[in-house]
Structure 1
Amino acid sequence: MAFKISVVALPEHPIEEILNLIKKVDELGLHGFWFVDETYHKDCWIIMAAAARETNKIIMGPAVTHIYLRDPTHIAQMLATLSELSKGRTAAVISIGNLIMLQQYHVKWENTRPMERMREAFKVIRALLEEGKVTFEGKHFKYTGLFTAARPYGKVTLYMGAMGGPRSFQLAGEIADGLMPALGYSAEFWKDVQENFKKGVQRVGRKLEELELASWSVVSVARNADAAKEAAKTIVGFYIPSMPPRQLRMHGIDPETVKEINNAFFRGDVETVIKLTTMDIVEKLSLSGSPEDIIQKLKKNFTPYGVSHLVACIIDPFIVKFFTGREIPGLPDFVEQARLLKEEVAPALS
């Protein structure tokens, strides 16, 4: 089976530049172009709608969208509309959401049975996508005779996004078309994901080979490996506060040792976050370096545990300058990094 390569964007770029990036990635023949659906960035749904008419093959969708800040019926309505616009080139990753952003919205998600909420959300989204109407009586969501004119152009693939642990990975095996954990780079992490995903699949009698394990990863690739790692250093620290302690430990990182990074993040102290992000942390929490470096890490830590799809959050010169004001000599632009992944990394894994 061919190893899939997709890219994911933090939509900070000027809109015309983002649309141009999507068109170029489409021309390269990558599998998908995914967007972060968070208030911090430009609205991904509007961008994807604009891109739908300017692309031909590439899959587009949110990675991730979320079930605390968005109602599942609205997610289904938007997905169906985007599917019609793109003639079926739509998928989505559904998750609880960015836990840091939920705090900023004062959303109390702890002790609200989030996995139960996720199970209900998937039922609601599938019902509205497949039937155009939903009547549902759950503990978290309730609808009576709700319907929509938005109809998808064929099946919309629904992944579940997860980071926390066994229960979420197992649930994905029960209800989703695939599982896309974020920020997992170690063999220990992916072994745990695979084992628990498989448990969920077997519990409900599904076929593992019909589902997909994908990885949402921070990626920086360049001929100059040092430039790529330096670029990753500018962003890796900002993801640490969103990583559960269990996940950090699976990467050989004691949560106590990154408390100062977390504190700096919550103060909005960008410079200190980057300064405290050591190259050891970069090595553990990113896919960065030369194409060969990335191939070797994927072969060692990812593909032995069933990962068949890399969703690369590319750290390009624009993102580096946006966060730091710096330029890194030898760091390729977004499209060139996507090309290296498509032409050099993917063939080595297929």
Structure 2
Amino acid sequence: MDLRIFTEPQQGATYDTLLTVAKATEDLGFDAFFRSDHYLRMGDVDGLPGPTDAWITLAGLARETRRIRLGTLMTAATFRLPGVLAIQVAQVDQMSGGRVELGLGAGWFEEEHRAYGIPFPKEKFARLEEQLAIVTGLWQTPVGETFGHDGAHYQLVDSPALPKPAQRKVPVLIGGQGATRTPRLAARYADEFNMPFASPEDSERQFGRVREAAEAAGRKGDDLVYSNALVVCVGKDDAEVARRAAAIGREVGELKENGLAGSPAEVVEKIGRYAEAGASRLYLQMLDLNDLDHLELISSQVQAQLG
């Protein structure tokens, strides 16, 4: 089971804080550092000092880290034109030496669009599908050839389709709980399917839908990586779990029900349930980015037991 660290900087984090967490992620042996792509805080937090841009952050981290993978859960298709996004991701991939992954979603948080003057269209899923076709199409176009797209929402004419990523294939992540369109889209474009904040039972059901859609599209179901994103709250004892839950404004019982919370042994047991459901990768949502001892405990007492 791969463990990746997943952060939510819109809740309040500077670039320097994210850099510290990313370096700890690398030093402690985790597989990757991912971040959300949001511009507005959620819930009862002040969000100070304010949002950081996902791809600017990852560009900086690309030059400050050496091993870990870097990516987004999920970049909103509403935030960037697809041609521009393809350039940004390719450049950051070059800057990292080929360690970038792109999680791309339709966008859902209407308030942040209003707050920063970003259009929030009704036909978000159709736009996402075109974005995926364009971004992957630009990267796959051979050097010296051009790319075009004549869609309902985006038109590209004689694009040189440059620059290219350092990787031959930047992994694309798609996620969500939709029963029909989401699996179909993942089957066509995704290298990884992510199920966010869901039970093992719901995850197994959705993973099965994606496998069926992949096979219907002429792929093997096992061509995709299957993953979950879950909030994490681990402590050496009950008091430490309670302290960490309080620090993020959550209840221990709710976290144990809906996330990965409790002692290292409890968390390892629940990870096993997600593995049985078909997941081979977990994104651990770290909500207190100043608690580096939490990362160290997960590394030494949880990750070490997973092999």
Query: Which TM-score bucket, shorter chain as reference?
Result: 0.7 to 0.9
Q: What is the aligned counterpart of 1:178 among 178, 192, 210?
A: 192
Give the match for residue 13 of structure 2: 13
Query: TM-score scaled to structure 2, two decimals?
Result: 0.84
**Worse-superposed segment, 27-36 or 141-150:** 141-150
Q: Structure 2 CA distance, aligned partners of 1:139 and 1:39?
A: 27
Q: What is the aligned counterpart of 2:108 among 95, 98, 101?
A: 98
Q: Structure 2 CA distance, aligned partners of 1:101 and 1:205?
A: 39
Q: What is the aligned counterpart of 1:119 among 115, 119, 129?
A: 129
TM-aligned CA distance change 1:79 to 1:225, over 3 Å: farther
Matched, 1:344 2:288: no
Q: What is the aligned counterpart of 2:77 among 60, 67, 70?
A: 67
**Worse-superposed segment, 226-235 or 48-57:** 226-235
Amino acid at match of 1:284: E
Describe the superposition over 1:46-89 as per-residue Cα deviations: whole angstroms up to 9, x where unpaired.
22211212211111112110112222222211110001100101
Q: Structure 1 CA distance, aligned partners of 2:81 and 2:165?
A: 18
Q: Structure 1 CA distance, aligned partners of 2:196 and 2:22?
A: 22
Gaps of 5+ in 1: 236-273, 319-332
Matched, 1:291 2:304: no
Superposed displacement of residue 122, structure 1: 1.3
1:165-314 to structure 2, matched below 5 A, reads 165-184=179-198, 186-229=199-242, 231-232=244-245, 235=248, 279-300=252-273, 302-314=274-286
Superposed displacement of residue 168, structure 1: 1.2
Q: Structure 2 CA distance, aligned partners of 1:55 and 1:103?
A: 31
Amino acid at match of 1:337: H
What's the Cα RMSD here?
2.4
**Worse-superposed segment, 116-125 or 87-96:** 116-125
Superposed displacement of residue 297, structure 1: 1.4
Q: Structure 2 CA distance, aligned partners of 1:152 and 1:293?
A: 40
- The answer on whether the counterparts of 1:115 and 1:171 sit within 8 Å (CA) in structure 2 is no
Superposed displacement of residue 341, structure 1: 3.0
Q: Structure 2 CA distance, aligned partners of 1:149 and 1:195?
A: 36
Q: Structure 1 CA distance, aligned partners of 2:180 and 2:269?
A: 27
Matched, 1:140 2:153: yes
**Worse-superposed segment, 144-153 or 117-126:** 144-153
Q: Which contiguous aligned blocks of 4+ residues in structure 1 show a shift greater than 6 angstroms?
A: none
Give the secondary structure class of the aligned counterpart of 1:56.
coil
Give the match for residue 156 of structure 1: 170
Superposed displacement of residue 172, structure 1: 1.2
Matched, 1:79 2:77: no
Amino acid at match of 1:314: M
TM-aligned CA distance change 1:207 to 1:53, over 3 Å: same
Give the secondary structure class of the aligned counterpart of 1:213.
strand
Superposed displacement of residue 349, structure 1: 3.7
TM-aligned CA distance change 1:187 to 1:23, over 3 Å: closer
Give the secondary structure class of the aligned counterpart of 2:196.
coil
Describe the superposition over 1:273-309 as per-residue Cα deviations: whole angstroms up to 9, x where unpaired.
x5xx655433332222221121111212x11121111
Superposed displacement of residue 196, structure 1: 0.9
Aligned length: 289
- The answer on whether the counterparts of 1:218 and 1:286 sit within 8 Å (CA) in structure 2 is yes
Q: Tell me the percent identity.
A: 22
Amino acid at match of 2:287: I
- The answer on whether the counterparts of 1:26 and 1:57 sit within 8 Å (CA) in structure 2 is yes
Give the match for residue 248 of structure 1: none
TM-aligned CA distance change 1:208 to 1:337, over 3 Å: farther
Superposed displacement of residue 99, structure 1: 3.1
- The answer on whether the counterparts of 1:170 and 1:199 sit within 8 Å (CA) in structure 2 is no
- The answer on whether the counterparts of 2:211 and 2:220 sit within 8 Å (CA) in structure 1 is no
Q: Structure 1 CA distance, aligned partners of 2:136 and 2:164?
A: 12
Q: Structure 1 CA distance, aligned partners of 2:113 and 2:21?
A: 32
Q: Structure 1 CA distance, aligned partners of 2:287 and 2:239?
A: 14
- The answer on whether the counterparts of 2:6 and 2:285 sit within 8 Å (CA) in structure 1 is yes
Give the match for residue 265 of structure 1: none
Gaps of 5+ in 2: 41-50
Query: TM-score scaled to structure 1, two decimals?
Result: 0.75
